[in-house]
Structure 1
Amino acid sequence: MHQHLLESYDRLLTECNDDDESPASPPTPPANVIEMSRMREILFIGICAVSHLMTQAALGQALAPIDIIAPTFGNIPPGEKSWFIAGYSLTVGTFIMISGRLGDILGHKRVFAFGYAWLGMWSCFAGFSAYTRHQIFFDVCRAFQGIGPALLMPNALALFGRVYAPGIKKNIVFSIFGALAPAGFVIGATFGSLFAQLTWWPWAFWSYGITAFVLSVFALLIIPKALSDPPAIHPKFDWTGSFCVVAGLVLINVAFNNAPLYGWHTPHVYFTLIIGFIFVVFFVWVELRVESPLLPIRAINSTVGYVLALVGVGWGSFGIWVFYNISFLQHIRHATPLQVSAQYAPAVVAGFIAAGMTGFMLTHTPVSFVMLLSMIAFCTGISVSTFQPAQQIYWAQTFVGIIIMPFGMDMSFPAATVILSNHMPREHQGLAASLVNTVVNYSISIALGIAGTVEVYAPSNGELEQNRNALYLAIGLSGLGVILGFVFFIKTVMREGWVIMDH
């Protein structure tokens, strides 16, 4: 999306320069599209980049204290606890493409500020679910909470794209955006655990909601007014395609996450899956014929599909790892939520180091090589964590796994975005970040459902073996990512040579 906006801006500059009759007029500087003071620019970067932090914080705030939150709703089976995370990731991944298109139509600043307000409202509702004592109400609130980040992230990237032209400054800004993901998870887990252990867990959601409301106000005040206006030429909204893709992805996800609870032999589980796939097929049929498709199917070539598959298996394995590694620390090693949050704190530093390394490697090595390294990081980190014994010093394996995983996160996202941008037509450049975001979050939700099925139905002798069975699945997914990443790297080098980005 941000690439599409940059191209629109470049065309606008060309038209303005063509109309200028004075040959001596200085050329328009390519760096800053929107003029801002230094302080306002810093605040602008902060208010947009922190949306990624808030997205991951909402994941951590329910995951770390999950065993304190769950008893509020009665005796919940382990398979139902995964919905606390899967419901949120489901809507984040499902609604990203739609929200990006809404930003193109309504204006990115408007949709971005509304995203913070929506996130704040449903975070508060999630806290109030403690009074209802109904898990379904909490799961629904979590799902609607996930729409907030879906509105925020693609429009934050679009706002950056409208302000910064390609160059070092833009690379730094996007590196900051990516580096805040591990920090957001740790911050969310810490404050969620702090309120859950010392006061009452709903205060974690209420304080988070208040923060989101404040950020919404700051977004309206800090982001320049010029960014409120939609592009001069914007596409029509694809209502039919939007309905089909949302219905299809939601139903498929519900089927996979309900399978551990009811079994695949239950009619409503496999019928939900079948209906979901029917909606997805109909979505593809619509997108091939509609005038302004939400997802131009014809623009997706084999390379794009290959990279999206890599992102899916990599981030799916990450979702399993983060859920079951925390479960291991709490149930096997009997760590409190605050202790778990403290153990994940090194991921913040590792995330910033990984972001800096990624920025360097993207301009000194082929992008496909960076993608391969991210898959290796996922597989290595998960393998180290899976085989840790029940009782062992933290620094031996737990610490090692935690500092490796951010390299998989912070390498795969920018690498995948660059590869998709390079292999899609110019008129569809904006789809790159939206597609990667969609696959990242949706794959986490789907993978948790599959891991829940493995945990429940695979032969095991106790909770430790159940936990490892789920992590074996994560090793399998990440190992597949390594194989696919290696094949992709070899094919790319043989076809293009050792090609690196300009810097």
Structure 2
Amino acid sequence: MDSDQEKAAQASPALDAGVDGDALALRPSAADSTWLSESLSLPRESIFVAVVCMAQFCTQAAFMGTLVLLRTIGTAFNITSPPQLAWLVAGYSLTVATFILFSGRLGDVFGYKRMLIIGLSWFSLWSLIAGLSVYSNYRLAVFSRVLQGIGPAICLPNALAIFGTAYPPGHRKAMVFAFFGAVAPIGAVFGGTFASLLTLAWWPWALWAMAIWLAILAVAGSFAIPRLPTRKIRPRDWKSWVRVLDLPGAFVGVVSLVLFNFAWTQAPLDGWGTPTVLLPLVLGILLFGLFAFIEFRLSPMPLLPFDVVNGEVAFVLAAMVCGWATFGIWTLYLVQMLEDIRHLSPLLTTAWFCPVAVAGAAAAVVTGKLLGPMQARPPVVMTLALLAFTTGAILTTLAPTDQLYWGQIFVSMLVMPFGMDMSFPAATLIVSNAVAKENQGVGASLVNTVVNYGIALGVGFAGTVEVHVHGHGVTTEDRLAGFRGALFMGVGLASLGLVVCLAFLARDRLRSRR
């Protein structure tokens, strides 16, 4: 705790100097000298943790709830092309990933609790509009899903920042972050189950029910989340706000990420030789270079905390990109294979995913113990996570279409959650402990950006492979070949991440011996 307080004390003058001191003053309150979790009773703490973890739960529920209904929604709009339908999930993941980084800075400035409630409210509004798109057209459905993703982008980093601010480094903090990761597969299963059940009445009810639940959470959060340490912000002019929010860097960074991912997601539809793909791709790369220049050279308060991105943090983030890209590919194309090739209903498809929730809970407990009392090194935990991602992807890719559920598919359902729930808490803890208390939002944003952008980018990569492998995509054999090609892309990404982990683990052990 003392080290974190020293970092906070050292960071405050730097922040003030970055905005010329007279324009902005960041003054920690007296509450910053203690940890919020130490003042909560067990029942109050349980409610607090449960409400905050709903940010992760609802993010994955909205993803899986739409994923299992892709064919149902497509039928309503007369859309049958898999790459075109993929925009309903890829567009959602795209905005989740690209707006997270800036959302963390908003939380650092305006308060994590306030931004979490705003995020839940936005999430609720656009879930409602996404359901209402049934009265319009497919473009509105995709557009509303894209804007719906801004809600989780606001919620996720600020939820993690609340935990990072409330808990000191140690076993309790490790378990809370493990719980936050564990609710991801649980939320996915619940989201898929309720969406499938509500679709028996009418598919928009899956989105409207989500909107109602999110509205309830927004109200509950205002009471369940205690008042967090605050800082007085007194900007005197608009230049101060531009500096503290790093608006030039935020704008260029978001646009570059959106353009780059748009190119990969749209390429399976338009082809790589078209201007609608090449132009966004080139512009995205150029703008990302400009973003890096702004963050390194120009911004007094950059969105990316480059000072904490040491070798260990960089290794974790590189492994996370590969692993979570594999997870996005695995989820999307396993659902496609079950519904299109095996002809399962959305409800039965979700039932097949139920072991994910149980395995996710077990993985969270194991990870909490590894990172807590057992004090396992992060390279070891990340290596185990990437091994799980690789194994699960291989099992799914090579599973025969006529094999019983209890064969490779079932085993992959048990293995993949360990990749998710071992990598996410480990990465979050590393970054959270590396940044000062007043920068928890930015630190949490970095991890969530890598996770969600990895998912979005993985889906784009796999979509390109699918189109080039499935031929005309008319027969079942053609579509199966495309799905398997996409899954092999996931195997390659997971294997790359595993190689990175093994290399870093070898380096870590060599240093320990020396």
Work out the CA distance in 1 between the residues paired with 2:219 and 2:440. 30
User: What are the ranges of 5 or more consecutive residues in structure 2 without an aligned counterpart?
Assistant: 13-31, 236-242, 472-476
Give the conservation status (yes or no) of the 8 Å contact 2:252–2:290.
yes
1:221 deviates by 1.8
| 2:186 is aligned with 1:183 | yes
1:256 alignment counterpart:
264
User: Out of 37, 51, 58, which is 1:54 matched to?
Assistant: 58
| 2:406 is aligned with 1:395 | yes
User: Out of 341, 358, 380, which is 2:367 matched to?
Assistant: 358
User: Out of 458, 461, 468, which is 1:450 matched to?
Assistant: 461
Which amino acid in 1 is paired with 2:361? F
Work out the CA distance in 2 between the residues paired with 1:33 and 1:418. 17
CA offsets 1:166-220 (integer angstroms, 9 cap, x no match): 2332222222111101000001111111122x11110010010010001000111
1:165 alignment counterpart:
168
1:323 alignment counterpart:
332
How has the CA–CA distance of structure 1 residues 31 and 299 changed in structure 2, closer, same or farther, with 3 Å as cutoff?
A: closer
2:501 alignment counterpart:
485
1:439 alignment counterpart:
450
1:304 deviates by 3.2
Which amino acid in 2 is paired with 1:183? I
| 2:482 is aligned with 1:466 | yes
How has the CA–CA distance of structure 1 residues 446 and 115 changed in structure 2, closer, same or farther, with 3 Å as cutoff?
A: same
1:96-135 matches, cutoff 5 A: 96-132=100-136, 134-135=137-138
1:50 deviates by 1.4
User: What are the ranges of 5 or more consecutive residues in structure 1 without an aligned counterpart?
Assistant: 13-27, 499-503
Give the conservation status (yes or no) of the 8 Å contact 1:86–1:445.
yes
1:242-391 matches, cutoff 5 A: 242-288=250-296, 289-297=298-306, 299-363=308-372, 364=374, 365-391=376-402
How has the CA–CA distance of structure 1 residues 356 and 241 changed in structure 2, closer, same or farther, with 3 Å as cutoff?
A: same
Work out the CA distance in 1 between the residues paired with 2:313 and 2:281. 25
* Percentage identity across paired residues of the two chains: 42
1:205 alignment counterpart:
207
Give the conservation status (yes or no) of the 8 Å contact 1:316–1:474.
yes
Work out the CA distance in 2 between the residues paired with 1:233 and 1:367. 40
1:40 deviates by 2.7
Work out the CA distance in 2 between the residues paired with 1:32 and 1:177. 18
Give the conservation status (yes or no) of the 8 Å contact 1:47–1:219.
yes
Match of 2:403, SS state, is coil
**Comparing 250-259 with 70-79, which one deviates more in the overlay?**
70-79
Which amino acid in 2 is paired with 1:271? L
2:77 alignment counterpart:
73
1:227 deviates by 2.2
Match of 2:324, SS state, is helix
2:474 alignment counterpart:
none
How has the CA–CA distance of structure 1 residues 30 and 106 changed in structure 2, closer, same or farther, with 3 Å as cutoff?
A: closer
RMSD of aligned alpha carbons: 2.6
1:279 deviates by 1.4
2:426 alignment counterpart:
415
Output the TM-score relative to the length of structure 2: 0.87
Give the conservation status (yes or no) of the 8 Å contact 1:48–1:156.
yes
How has the CA–CA distance of structure 1 residues 105 and 432 changed in structure 2, closer, same or farther, with 3 Å as cutoff?
A: closer
Work out the CA distance in 1 between the residues paired with 2:284 and 2:400. 40
Give the conservation status (yes or no) of the 8 Å contact 1:104–1:231.
no
Output the TM-score relative to the length of structure 1: 0.89
Give the conservation status (yes or no) of the 8 Å contact 1:33–1:162.
no
CA offsets 1:449-495 (integer angstroms, 9 cap, x no match): 11111111126552211111111111111111111111111111212
How has the CA–CA distance of structure 1 residues 211 and 165 changed in structure 2, closer, same or farther, with 3 Å as cutoff?
A: same
**Comparing 457-466 with 374-383, which one deviates more in the overlay?**
457-466
Give the conservation status (yes or no) of the 8 Å contact 1:30–1:165.
no
1:219-230 matches, cutoff 5 A: 219-224=221-226, 226-227=227-228, 229-230=230-231
2:220 alignment counterpart:
218
How has the CA–CA distance of structure 1 residues 5 and 44 changed in structure 2, closer, same or farther, with 3 Å as cutoff?
A: farther
Work out the CA distance in 2 between the residues paired with 1:329 and 1:116. 32
Give the conservation status (yes or no) of the 8 Å contact 2:157–2:442.
no
How has the CA–CA distance of structure 1 residues 231 and 321 changed in structure 2, closer, same or farther, with 3 Å as cutoff?
A: farther
